[in-house]
């Protein structure tokens, strides 16, 4: 397969050679720092996404309360279920972000 600037095999070879050259000129601390920064960036992204799900969950719960007050059981149930689903997604993302942050900062010197 031909890609811009060479074949995919040429790109793979160049990437491998570049990695070896970097390894020859940088110590393991360089790669540990990259790993920490990458872990922190992923954790931050997950926290931001979790915040969006928390906001969506709150919206659905407000809508559920409104529909319940109007006696609209089906609509209230729909919003309650969606609010719960967003809450679960937010919880999972927060847990993942915490795990990524702690794994990227613990056990390193």
User: What is the pLDDT at residue 25?
Assistant: 79
pTM higher than the cut 0.75: no
Q: Can you tell me the distance from the alpha carbon of 42 to that of 84, in angstroms, rounded to the nearest whole number?
A: 24
Contacts of range 56-65, beta carbons closer than 8 Å, 24 or more positions apart: 56/82, 56/83, 56/86, 57/83, 57/84, 57/85, 57/86, 57/87, 57/90, 58/83, 59/83, 60/86
Digits of tens for pLDDT over the chain (109 positions)? Answer: 444 667 878 777 777 777 777 777 777 676 677 666 776 777 788 778 888 888 888 888 899 998 889 999 999 999 899 888 988 888 888 887 777 655 544 554 4
Tell me the two tokens of residue 26.
Answer: 């940088």
């Amino acid at each position: 397969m031909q890609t811009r600037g060479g074949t995919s095999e040429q790109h793979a070879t160049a990437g491998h050679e570049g990695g070896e050259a970097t390894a020859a000129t940088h110590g393991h601390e360089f790669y540990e720092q990259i790993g920490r920064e990458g872990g922190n960036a992923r954790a931050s992204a997950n926290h931001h996404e979790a915040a969006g799900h928390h906001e969506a969950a709150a919206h659905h719960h407000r809508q559920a309360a409104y529909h319940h007050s109007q006696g609209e059981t089906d609509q209230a149930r729909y919003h309650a279920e969606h609010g719960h689903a967003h809450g679960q997604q937010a919880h999972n993302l927060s847990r993942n972000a915490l795990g990524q942050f702690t794994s990227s900062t613990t056990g390193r010197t």
